[in-house]
Each structure stands twice: as C-alpha cells, then as structure tokens.
Structure 1
Amino acid sequence: MAGPVPELEDRARECAERLCAADRVLLASHIDADGLTSAAIAAQALERAAIPFETVFEKQLDEDAIAAIAATDYDTVLFTDFGSGQLDVIGKYEDAGDFTPIIADHHQPADRDTEYHLNPLLVGINGASELSGAGASYVLARALADVSDSSPAAATDGGAVADPAGTTARADNRDLAALAVVGAVGDMQAAGGELHGANEAIVAEGVEAGVLETGKDLALYGKQTRPLPKLLEYATDVHIPGVSNDTNGALRFLDGLDLELKRDGEWRRWADLSGEEKQTVASALVRKAVSSGVPAAKIDELVGTAYVLSEEPVGTELRDASEFSTLLNATARYERADVGLGVCLGNRDGALERARQLLADHRRNLSNGIDLVTREGTTEEAHVQWFDAGDEIRETIVGIVAGMAMGNQGISRSKPIIAFAAKNDDELKVSARGTHSLVRQGLDLSVVMGEASRAVGGDGGGHDVAAGATIPSEQKGGFVKHADELVGEQLS
C-alpha cells in the first residue's frame, strides 16, 4: 500500500517493522500542538496494531530526559516530534544497549544517524514548511497499518472497521490525517494561508477518508466559536481601520449589512452562516479594506484555505484545524499534555472541558504578555531585537507572545525577535521568531539558536522561522551578541 510521501516510504516501513517486532514500546513526544497530535497519531496506530505501549511527554528532550528514558525497562523507544536534534545524546544510550530508538521527527538532525529514523529533511523535504512532526507520525502510522498483521488492516478494502477503543477507524489509518493537519497548522506550516508540499498529500488522504473538508474561506481565527463582532474585532493579521481592534466599528460594519446576523437575540458565528451570507460579509469586508487604503497584497491575505474536521461538531474548537491546535497548545503550555492527548483521542467530556478552561487562562496570559511587551518595547541591535520577560511571562508561552507582538507599535517585523524568560534560578529560556519574508531572505533561526546557545554553554535548535534554546542566565549578553552577528551574516 503506497504511503502519502513516497520519498519516506522505505524509512517508514523499516520503522514500522521494527515496532511490530517489539514486545512493547515507550512513546515519548513533545508537548506543543504538533507534539500532542504526533503522539495521538502514534498511539492510535500502535493500539490498532496491538502493540503495547506507554506514553510520556517532555517539554525539552535534554540529556536528563533522555537518561530518564534510558533508565526505564523499555527496550524500544518511539520518539515523535523530537529526537532528531538530540541523536548525538540518544546515540550514546543506543550504543550502550539501553534501548533501540525509532524517530519520527521533522527538526534538524544532529551530526549522527540511527537505523530507524523517519525525517523529511533526510530526503530533501523541508521540515519547517512541508511536513510537521504529526505528518511524520502519520507517514509512520500508514506504514504501520500496512505491515502489521494484527492491525485493522484485516479489512482488505481499506474501509472503516471497529477500533479497539470502540471508535470508528480506517484499516489504513487514513482517518488520522485530520490530526496530522491540526499538527501542521499548529506548527505554523500554513504559509500564505494554506499547507504545501508533503502536507498537501496528507490533506488529500484526509479528504478521501472523509475526515477533512477544505475550501477557500475567510482567513480569520475563530470562525467556529467567536460571535461575528468578535471575529472581526480580533482579526488583526490584516488590519482593517474601523473594524480591527474596534468594538464599535465592528458592530457598525455588521449593522450595515442586510443580513440576519442575530438569532434569538444572539450573534451568529461565521460557521452558522450560509455560503451566500458568508460571501456577502466577505465582499463587504474587502470593500471596507480597499476604501480604508489597505494594500492589495494584504487584502489578498483575507482569504485562505480552511481545514475543517468534518466529523467534529459545527461551532466547536475541534471543527477548525487552527482553533483545535490553539486548544492543544493551551494544554501543553501549562503542563497538562495529558489533557491535550485525551482530547485528540476522543475524550469529549472531562478532557475537553478542562482544555477549554486552560484555553481561557492561556488567552488571558497571552494578552497580558503582549500588552507587557508592547508597553515595554524591545532593545534593538543591528540585526535583531530582544526583550527579557524575567518571570513575568511563563517560559512556555514567551515565544508565542514574541511572535504575536511583532508588528505592534514600536516592534518591528523587519528584524527577528528574541525573547528571554526565566526557566529556573540558573537558566534562561530563549525563544526566537521571524517572518516567512525574512526566511526567504536567508534567515534560519534554527542555526542561529543552535550556534549562539552552544557558544555560551547552552543548547538549542528548531526551525528557520521559529526556534528556541536554553542558556546559562549570566550569558544573556554574549548570546545576544552571537545571535546578532549570525543573523547579520544570514541576511547580508
């Protein structure tokens, strides 16, 4: 059975065969939206293949975390959404016979390889924009369904069968494509409003499996859950004067439309509108943008590709890939990866309600953090800008805050932004964010974070547009100097 990414087929099959040969597996994954969906995909694939497993999450796969994994009595460890960048450390334990690593990741690999290594970068596919960690897990899940004698693949037509957990599954695991798309969107891979590269093949499989719907739609966050006035007021990626960040302006704009925008005294949501009603609102919004002098290129960004999880209820966060990923991030950033995993695995009672509570807290913390950074501003170097949040912004969300603050008053989008936050008494968490425009000019924050952190006794990595590191607290100045020089070289 051909997989969604032919270039990775052989590697995926080798990894799947090794998993099937294991008595049991320790599944270790990252805690962000991409990591949670990676773990959920792998967990369901392992369960359907009747492979016993246990799941653990790590905020950072450092030497201590890997040592703890090695100290368990698991002989086979499946790493999802991390592991490639830590292969130099993992390799020491592999050589010592502590465990056999199987890696499904998309981050820049360390200078070492291992036998069971599934990573798009190894076959020339961009791991920052064309395949996420969840995508790599999905490729593995598809191969696992194919090689496992005990998976639901006993249904030879690839149709729907009964999953061991009692849910509806597909024999070929294509139903897991929806989670892979949530992971990719959560990993900011929908550049220009849509997914590209190998991600497109996964989308196609999800559509074919009946778990995804796609189409052009208004590219605003909150189309499933926000009342229409709030949807427009909070839509700031494309700033429309008189509507964006303007409560009364958004209300006036909607009142001027000849549509039934309230029912039973309540504002309707975008998801409640008919196709014709959506077209009316979108056309009026474009006209408002044009009349307000918004550049044509920015107006084009008002429309993008929507990724809808067709089996989820209309009007919930789970229906929209972007809202789903934000919900997952809210669980992970507050040390409740178990809640996020529960939601991914179909827990629509306790886990979903707890996730919504965490999301409300997350939004409040993000808003406070963005206000703080905008008010205090950044320190500008020749090629980067930075701020130190100390302990006023959680180290798990400081990178999100930095990215969302870019473009606010006094915070440039023409320079990468570096954020510091206290990790503990001795270390700083460093998060860096750029723009896709800067990446096209040569920016690679994965290299910057990795080299600058190691130069001052820390470690780091990530993607070209977003990366992170941990450094000794007293080395902040030296780190900024190295990072500024590296960015200057990349963009010169």
Structure 2
Amino acid sequence: MTGPVPELEERAIACANRLCAADRVLLASHIDADGLTSAAIAASALERAEIPFETVFEKQLDEAAIAGIAARAYDTVLFTDFGSGQLDVISEHERAGDFTPVIADHHQPADEETEFHLNPLLFGINGASELSGAGASYVLARALADVADATPATDGELATDGGTGTGTGATSRRPRTDNRDLAALAVVGAVGDMQASGGELHGANEAIVDDGVEAGVLETGTDLALYGKQTRPLPKLLEYATDVYIPGISNDESGALRFLDGLDLELKDDGEWRRWAELTADEKQCLASALVQRAVSRGVPASKIDGLVGTSYVLSAEPVGSELRDASEFSTLLNATARYDRADVGLGVCLGNRGDTLERARTLLRNHRRNLSEGIDLVTREGVTHEEHVQWFHAGDRIRETIVGIVAGMAVGNDGISREKPIVAFADKNDDDVKVSARGTHSLVRKGLDLSAVLGEASRAVGGDGGGHDVAAGATVPTGAEEAFLECVDELVGEQLGSER
C-alpha cells in the first residue's frame, strides 16, 4: 500500500522493518504539541504492531539526555520530533553499539548519516511548513501497519480477520489496521507546530488531511480563523482575537459586546453568550460578514482582512464545545501539559483517555493561559531591546523557560515589538545555562531568514547548541554568554536579510 507521502515510502518501510525486528523499543520524544502527538502516533502504531515499548520525554535532546537514553539498555530507540539535529551525538552511541536509532523527525539534520532516518528534508520536502514531526511519525505508522500486517503470527495465535491458527507452528495474519485514524493527531501536531501558514496546511500535510477525512476522523471547511471557536463565549472570542486587529473590537471588551449587541441575532442562550461552534451556518455567515464590514470601515488592509477566514480542522469524534474538537485548541491544551512536566497527561489525552486525565489537562491549561498572559504583559510593559536586525528580551526566572518562546511569538505586534524583525527571548534554564527561543514570520522567511541556521551557528560559537526551523528555533547557551551570542545572531540575521533592510 502506498503511504501518504510517496517520497518517504521506501525509507519509512525500512524504518518499520527495523522496528518489527526489535524485541522491544524505547520511544523518546519531545515535549511540545508536535512532540506529544508524535509520541502518541508512534505509541499507537507500536502497540498495534505488538512491539513492546517504553516511552520517555525530553525537554532537550542534549548529550546528557542521549547518554541517559543509552543507559536504559534498549537495542532500538525510536526518536520522534527530535533526533535529526542531534545525529552527530546519536551516531557516536550507535557506533559504540549502545543502540540502533530509528528517527522520525523534521528538523534540520546534523552533518551525519544513519540508516533508519525518516526526515522530509532528506527528500526535498520542507520540514518547517510541509510536514511536522507528527507527520513524519504518521508516515512511519502507516508503513508500520503494512509491515506488521505482512508479518505472520506464530505459535497458534488466532487471527481475528477470518484466519485461523491450528496449533504450534501455525501462522495467521495479525488483525489489519492501516493507522489512518491517527491522521487527526498528525494534523493537531502540524497545526501546533505553526505549519498552517496562510490559514491552512500545505504540502505533504495535505495528504495526511485527506487520509483523516477519508478515515472519518477529520472534517475540514472554510471558517472564521480565530482561536477559541469551540470554547470561548462570543465576546471573548472577538476580544482576544488579535492576529487581525480590528479597532473597537480587538482587546476591547466593551467594544466586542457593543458589536455583538448590534447584530440582529439571538446570540445568548438562557442569558449566557453562545460559542461560535454552537451557531448555525446562517448565523456564522451573518456574524462573519458583519466582522469583515467592521474591519473594512475601520481601515484594516484587505490583506489582513483575508486572514479572518481560513481552513478549519475539526476532530469529528470529539463533542462540540470541547477544546479537543478543534486542532488549534487541542494543540494548546497539549502545550499546557508537558511544558509543566506532565507529559504523561498530554500523552494520555492523545491516546483517548478522558475523565480525570482530561480534567488534569484542563487545569494545566488554565495555569498555562495565566502564565502566558502574565508573560506577555511583562514583555509588553518592559519592552524589548532593538538591535539593527533583531529585537530581544531577557526574562530571567520570571518566565518559565519551556514557554518563553510561545510568549515571544504572541507578544510580537504589541506596542514597541516589531513584526519586521525576528524576536529573541532568553530565560534562565538553570544556574549554568540560559534557554534561547527565537521567532520570525513567514514573510521574513521568504526574504531569506533561517533561524535554525542562525541559532545553531551562534550558540555553538559561544559553547552552546541549538537548531530548529527557519521560522522558529531554540538554543541553550552558557550563562553570561548572552551578549556575545546576540552579537553573532544580529550579524547572521543581517547577512540573511541584508538586501532587504
């Protein structure tokens, strides 16, 4: 069976065969939304293929983390949503015989090679915009389903698809599953990894979306491109929607209320404001048209107004009004778990656990939103420092290092924080190291920006390490090296964007 991304098919099958040959596998994954969905996809596929495994999560896959993984004495380690950028260190352990790596990742690879390396960048596919870590894991899961399905069960195992076992030595095929139902998680991962540029997913991601629709786990359509359509009451939906800033509504509680009260619609139920997801198609059309008209009347540029509408990705099996029904809200919920040291909760939600697990995730989400709000307020209040080509701030211990990058991205566009320069954020990691997160825009990327290359080179120049994607990247540098690091970053970004500034 041909997989969703033909260019990766041969490598995916090779990786799947290696996993099926393993007695047991250690699954190691990153902690953001893309990493959690990657882990969930891989865990589901391994379980269905009847391959014993254990799962571990790492905030950063540095030398110490890789050494810890090697110490677990697994012959096969599956890395998801990281591993490519650390292939130089991983390869040292591979050559030493510590383990055989299987990597499903989409980050820029280090200058090293290994046999079982599934990464879109190796096949001419953009890993920052066309296939996420969860997407790479999904491609692997599809291949694993085919390889495992072709592997006979032995010792009298009974098949459930019509085959029979007749005793010792008899063979039968395992129950067939193509793992297409996992496409929904891959879409959540891609959306969480900011790959829905221009309001929709592109490239190889589109094939995964098609799989999800065909499997009945995903619905798509043109809809209002605002965060919170499932869970936020209408006034809050409009007030907090600032990607397209509409004067008199955005960041204006009373203005949003006046706008809604002026519409000839029943937008309350028993005195409570309804949510966007609860509106009829006609009500949505009326509200959206009024919103566009308000934007036009307030002078919002047409290019910005276009951003009010995009493609929605809805998880069909989840109830209306649940944050799990919308891919964007689902990804935010996941970011609120592992970034606060509760990867087990996020993974559990991805694997279908509800009840107490989902309530714990929602509690973490409320805390996450509060921390983000406080972080954005801090950055906006204190401002950023502008160098010639970048802008930056140092949060110290006032913003958690696992969310400082999210804060930086969300603060862009606020007073004094330019959309025309990449933003670099620092936060204390421990007594010896500082976490760095950088965010750009797709517009800057089109002009030549590559933050992965910038942070990688600049961090190594000061004794640290880093990498990521062209539009978003991270690094760790020694405490006290921030000034030298910034000088290097500013120079490198200037070289990349020099002709544009």
Match of 2:403, as an amino acid? I
Identity of aligned residues (%): 82
Instruction: State the partner residue of 1:91.
Output: 91
**CA offset digits 1:422-446 (Å, max 9, x no partner):** 0011111000000111000000000
Superposed, 1:130-145 pairs within 5 Å as 130-145=130-145
Q: How far apart, CA to CA, are the structure 2 residues paired with 1:392 and 1:147?
A: 49
Whether the 8 Å contact between 1:50 and 1:150 is mirrored in structure 2 is no
Match of 2:485 among 451, 474, 479: 479
Q: Measure the CA separation in 2 of the matches of 1:387 and 1:218.
A: 33
Q: 2:313 aligns with which of 290, 307, 314?
A: 307
Structure 2 CA distance, aligned partners of 1:249 and 1:151?
A: 63
Equivalent residues of 1:224, 1:316 under 8 A apart: yes
The residue correspondences of 1:103-122 to structure 2 (distance < 5 A) are: 103-122=103-122
1:163 is aligned to none
SS in 1 for 2:437: strand
1:106–1:127: 8 Å Cα contact kept in structure 2? Answer: yes
**Pick from 424, 431, 441: which aligns with 2:437?**
431
Q: CA deviation at 1:266?
A: 1.2
Alignment check: 8 A CA contact 1:309 1:318 kept: yes
**Mapped partners of 2:349, 2:378: distance in 1:** 32
- Give the paired residue count: 481
Deviations 1:253-289 (A, max 9, x none): 1111111101112111000001111000000000000
Deviations 1:186-227 (A, max 9, x none): 000000000000000000000000000000000000000000
Is 2:255 the counterpart of 1:249? yes
Question: Aligned match of 2:246 in 240, 250, 258?
Answer: 240
> 4+ residue runs of structure 1 moved beyond 3 angstroms?
149-157
Alignment equivalent of 2:402, drawn from 371, 381, 396: 396
The whole-number CA distance in structure 2 between the counterparts of 1:351 and 1:316 is 14
Conservation of the 8 A alpha-carbon contact between 1:48 and 1:152: no
Q: Is the 8 A contact 1:40 1:345 kept in 2?
A: yes
Kindly report which structure 2 residues correspond to 1:390-469, keeping only aligned pairs within 5 A, or say none.
Answer: 390-469=396-475
Read off the aligned partner of 2:269 and give its amino acid letter. Answer: R
Q: What letter corresponds to residue 44 of structure 2 in structure 1?
A: Q
Shift in alpha-carbon separation, 1:96–1:234, aligned structure 2, 3 A: same
Q: Which runs of 5+ in 1 are unaligned?
A: 158-168
Q: Relative to 1, partners in 2 of residues 1:450 and 1:156: Cα closer, same or farther, differing over 3 Å?
A: farther
Letter in 1 for 2:32: D
Q: After superposition, where does 1:29-428 map in structure 2 within 5 Å?
A: 29-149=29-149, 171-428=177-434
Task: Give the whole-Å Cα distance in 2 for the aligned partners of 1:139 and 1:317.
Answer: 26
Cα separation, 2, equivalents of 1:150 and 1:407 = 53
**Residue type matched to 1:346 in 2?**
G
- Residues in 2 aligned to 1:49 and 1:462: alpha-carbon distance in whole angstroms: 31
Q: Secondary structure at the match of 1:56?
A: strand
Judging changes above 3 Å, is the alpha-carbon distance between structure 1 residues 487 and 155 closer, same or farther for their aligned structure 2 residues? farther
* TM-score under structure 2 length normalisation: 0.94
Alpha-carbon contact 1:216-1:303 (below 8 Å) kept: yes
Deviations 1:17-48 (A, max 9, x none): 01000001000000000000000000000000
What is the Cα-based RMSD across aligned positions, in Å?
Answer: 1.5
Distance 2:141 2:251 in 1: 43
Gap runs ≥5 in structure 2: 154-158, 163-174
Between the aligned partners of 1:424 and 1:357, the Cα distance in structure 2 is 26
| CA offsets 1:342-398 (integer angstroms, 9 cap, x no match) | 000011111110010000000000000001101111111110111110001110111
Distance in 2 of aligned mates of 1:306 and 1:170: 31
Q: How far apart are 1:333 and its partner, in Å?
A: 1.1
Hey, what's the Cα distance between the residues in 2 that align with 1:151 and 1:413? 53
Q: Residue in 2 aligned with 1:166?
A: none
SS in 1 for 2:54: strand
AA matched with 2:196? A
Change (3 A) 1:195 1:352: same
Contact 2:149 2:176 in 1 (8 A): no
Deviations 1:137-164 (A, max 9, x none): 000000000010488997889xxxxxxx
Q: In structure 2, give the amino acid aligned to 1:270.
A: W
Q: What CA distance in whole angstroms lies between the structure 2 residues aligned with 1:317 and 1:386? A: 32
Q: Which amino acid aligns with 1:115?
A: E
1:161 maps to which residue?
none
Deviation at 1:72, TM superposition (A): 1.0
> How far apart, in 1, do the equivalents of 2:126 and 2:151 lie?
31
Contact 1:50–1:151 (8 Å) recurs in 2: no
